[in-house]
Each structure stands twice: as C-alpha cells, then as structure tokens.
Amino acid sequence: MKVSKRIISYQISGESILIINTLTGAVDIINPQVYQLLRGDFLPENPQIDPEIITTLIKRGYLITNEDREEQVLGHITEAYAKTQKRLTFVLCPTYSCNLKCTYCFEGELTYDHSFMEKKDIDFVFAAIDELRRTHANRKHTITLFGGEPLLPKTKPLISKILDEASKRSLPIHIVTNGTHLGRFTKELNINKSLIKSCQVTLDGPKSIHDSRRKSTTGKGTFDLTCLAVDRLLDLQIKTTIRINADLQNIDSIPTLFEFARLKGWIDNPLINFMISPVLDHSCKKSYAYFVPEDELVGRLLQVTKENPYLEKFLELGVFKTIGHISAVIRGGRPFQPLLYYCEANNLEQIVFGPDGYIYPCTECMGNREFALGEFKPYLKLYDEIIKMWNERTILSMEKCRECDIALLCGGGCAYSALMVNGDINQPVCNRARETIFAYLGSIKDELLLKANA
C-alpha cells in the first residue's frame, strides 16, 4: 500500500487538517493521527487505525493498493476529456484598433494598429469558418466579436456583414465591447437579437475610478457611455455581462460600484450578470503599477466580500482556475473537471481571426505572427506543426507538470506565458498557482474550522 503523491494538505487547527486529492478531487478533513498515516509515519496495519478509515482512504484515492491505479485514473480522465463535447469559438477581430487606451490593456500598442478588415475579408473569414465547421463538425460552434474595439463607427459595415453571415448559418454570437459606440449599432443589434447570446462590457468601478482607467484616446473617461450601453442592451433585452477587472487600484471600490448598480436596478435584473475578473499579466512584463498576483488578489477579494457579504454571490471563484474545484466542493457548486490543460487554446477550442489575415490560438497572441496557427486570406491555410504544438500541451506532456502534485488543479499554466517568458511552450510558468490555493484556504480558515467542528 502506498500514499498518493497527489495529496495537498492544509492545517486548519491542532485537531484538524484539510486534505485534497487533486487526482480524484476528494476533499476531506482528518485528524492528526490519520494525517500521520498519510505522511507515512504509521503503517496502515497499525492496530491504532480503524480499518474503516483505511477503507475510506483507499476509496477516496489517498492510499493506493495497486501501483498502476493513478495511471488508470489519469487514463479515465483523458478518455472522459476525449468524449466531452468541445466548443469551437470563432473570435472575429475586424480591427486591432481601439478608441480607448485602458491603462492595463494586455493588447498594449497593438491597439495603435489602424488596419481594418475589408468587406471581402469577411467572405474569407466565413469561407474559413465553413471549412472549420466541416472538419470539426462535432463541436459546438459560436462567434465572438472582439478587437481592439469591434463596435466602432468604421466597423459598422463589417459588423453588419458579419451578423448577416452568422445569421445565414444560425451561429450564436457573443460580443465583447467597451460599449462606447454601442448606440450606433442599435438597429443591427435589434435585428439580430435572437442570435446575440450575450454582450460583455467592462465597468471597473464607480465613475472616478473607471474614468481614470478606461479613457478614450483623447483622455476622456468612459463611465457614462458604458452605463448608457448597459441600459441600451437592457432595452434591447440582450443578456449583458458587466465585467470588473480587479486590481490594487479598484478592489476596495467594488462595493461602491455595486451600490451604484443597485440604484440603477441592475442587481436584480435577470438579464445582467456580473463578473469580477483579475487583471492579468500573462506576458509577465510587470509594467502595470496596480497589478496584484493572483494569490494576493484572491485574499483581498475574499476580504472585501467578508466585509460586504451580499457581494459573495457575484464573486465567481471559478475565474481563478486553480481554486475553482476546491471552492465548489467547500462552498457548494458544480465541481470542476480536473484540468488536463490550462485553457481552450490548448485544444483548438478557439480560433482568432485578425485583420492581418492570420489566425491565432488565443487573443493574447493576436498580432504576433510567430504564434499564428495559419492564414485565412485568400483561403484557409493551417500551420499543422504549430497547431500540434498547442494541441499537445497537457500536464502529461510537460515533465515538470507531470510530477506536480497540483497539476490537475492548475492545468499547466498559460501556454502564451510559457512562450513569452521561457521561449518554450512546454516550460510552464507556474504563476503562483500553489500560493493561490493556500491563500484561498487561509482566507476561508474560519469556514473550514466550522466544518471541522460540525
């Protein structure tokens, strides 16, 4: 009998230890005696250990009776992945250009690129989409409008054409926009509203905070225009996600934003959904002053929700991948699938079409031709070797992740980060994944103690 290498533990009190089996997803609270057993200090045959406990530890995967058991479970997980229906999202960027200059935008100088797709390019895009739909017929196909900023005066004819083409194919659409020119698209949105499944706008805090972060290129804040966009979307009965990109600058003002949202009648509106999301720095440039590492951000967000309990229902911890499963088990919710890979880019679940005629595996790679998966102008041409490189990146293909006890909670980290920081997609950047898990457990220690004493 062996102790699994995929257990992590957290001391709740002198009498209770939380253990997590990252392979089976089991989460349990045990006493120090059982913990000693798992550390290998006692033999399971020791008469002090209740045989029923041993049986439970075996059942939940903490003790292994068969050397190959963990490999078998990994095999089952891989098979389950292969069987689940996958998505294929076509992310369309009519331009990389943007009318805003948000302080933290990961697109940075790419938004100064003023090239736009031409109407003819939309035909090339849809010819490529048709081919990809044929070759990936068993996927769930959707379109996301993205940019730069997709809804600009200059993109209007392009957006109309995209909506027409999507409509001919009954392809559902999601829109990610800063909302500042949304009013000019009312007619197009209205005609196609059955196709438009959601629209996401970003509102980063109360007016003074939002305006200092999300300014137009002329320096004017965009809070009022963004709020107007939300109201317009609601008038059109379009499902709206209000995204709040959280960092050191705005975290403490989140309750004030929600107070504003309550006064606007947005909180209880079934068409509105809030998403608190971390400001990310996957290229690890560290050039943004208010950036907070994920472990610290999780702690700060949970502190804010402790002080303002009504916010809890808006804080979807699933956006922090490493703690998604643990928080679902501890606080209730749908447990996450173990993560064989980090995100949709590692399974060709997303294809980004740029105005430069190239296609990319993720929006962070846009404009960087070194990372392109192929071209779509004048016809689809795929770079099979690059696609293979992205597709084959799983926790099982990377030596460092294969041996890592938290691999199935982490998924091997962001592939783009690995390329940017280490120049090798298979040399992962851990991005404080372990620290984030323990920061989370530290933040909910009181809850864990209550559970331990129950």
Ligand X SMILES: C[S@@+](CC[C@H](N)C(=O)[O-])C[C@H]1O[C@@H](n2cnc3c(N)ncnc32)[C@H](O)[C@@H]1O
Name the segment binding ligand X (CB under 6 A); options: 141-149, 164-172, 262-270, 332-340: 141-149
| Backbone torsions φ then ψ of 78, nearest 5 degrees | -60, -40
Give the nearest distance from C-beta 36 to ligand X in angstroms. Answer: 43
CB 225 within 8 A of CB 201: no
By beta-carbon proximity to ligand X, the closer residue of 106 and 260 is 106
Residue 221 binds which of ligand X, ligand SF4, none (CB < 5-8 A, kind-dependent): none
> Between residues 10 and 223, which has the closer beta carbon with respect to ligand X?
223
Which residues does residue 140 pair with via DSSP β-bridges, in sequence order?
Answer: 87
| Residue 171 touching ligand X (CB under 6 A) | no
**Are 61 and 26 a contacting pair, CB within 8 Å?**
yes
Told to check if 375 binds ligand X by CB under 6 A, we report: no
Q: Is residue 146 at the binding interface for ligand X, with CB under 6 A as the rule?
A: yes
Instruction: Work out how close the CB of 299 gets to ligand SF4 at its nearest, in angstroms, rounded to a whole number.
Output: 19
Q: How far is the CB of 432 from ligand SF4 (least distance, A)?
A: 9
Cβ distance to ligand X smaller for residue 104 or 358: 104
Query: From the CB of 266, what's the least distance to ligand SF4, in Å?
Result: 21
* Planar angle of CA 228, 229, 235, nearest 5 degrees: 90
- Member of 10, 104, 126, 266 binding ligand X (CB under 6 A): 104
Candidate residues 166, 176, 238, 297; the one interacting with ligand X per rule CB under 6 A: 176
- Is residue 300 within 8 Å of residue 306, measured between CB atoms? no
Span of 79-87, 125-133, 143-151, 436-444 interacting with ligand X by CB under 6 A: 143-151
What residue ranges bind ligand SF4 (CB under 6 A)? 98, 100-102, 105, 107, 111, 147-149, 178, 214, 395, 400-401, 404, 406-407, 410, 412-413, 428, 430, 433
Q: How far is CA 369 from CA 95, 109, 208, 360, 374, in A?
A: 16, 15, 38, 8, 9
Contact 20, 27 (CB under 8 A): yes
Q: What is the DSSP code string of 238-277?
A: --EEEEEEE-TTTGGGHHHHHHHHHHTT-TT-TTEEEEEE
**Distance from C-alpha of 283 to C-alpha of 428, rounded to nearest angstrom:** 12
Backbone angles phi, psi at 107, to 5 degrees: -80, -20
State which of positions 267-306 bind ligand X (CB under 6 A).
279-280
Least separation in angstroms between residue 216's CB and ligand SF4 is 9
202-261 residues in contact with ligand X (CB under 6 A) are 202, 243, 245
Among the candidate windows 97-105, 119-127, 152-160, 444-452, which touches ligand X by CB under 6 A?
97-105
Strand intervals (E) in 238-384? 240-246, 272-278, 350-353, 358-360, 374-375, 381-382
Single out the residue of 177, 253, 305, 347 in contact with ligand X (rule: CB under 6 A).
177
Please choose which of ligand X, ligand SF4, none residue 433 contacts, taking the beta carbon within 5 to 8 angstroms, the exact cut-off set by kind: ligand SF4
Q: Are the beta carbons of 88 and 351 closer than 8 angstroms?
A: yes
Q: Does 105 bind ligand X (CB under 6 A)?
A: yes
| CA 264 – CA 122 distance, rounded (Å) | 38
Separation CA 273–CA 239 (nearest Å):
8
Walk across the sheet containing 374-375 and list its strands: 272-278, 240-246, 196-202, 173-176, 140-145, 87-92, 350-353, 358-360, 374-375, 381-382
Partnered with residue 11 across adjacent β-strands are 17
Q: Is 98 in the site for ligand X (CB under 6 A)?
A: yes
User: Judged by CB, which is closer to ligand SF4: 16, or 95?
Assistant: 95
C-beta closer to ligand X: residue 57 or 143: 143
Q: Report, in Å, the least distance between residue 37 CB and ligand X.
A: 43
Alpha carbon distance 19, 177 (integer Å): 42
Residues near ligand X (CB under 6 A) are 98, 104-107, 146-147, 149, 176-178, 200, 202, 243, 245, 279-280
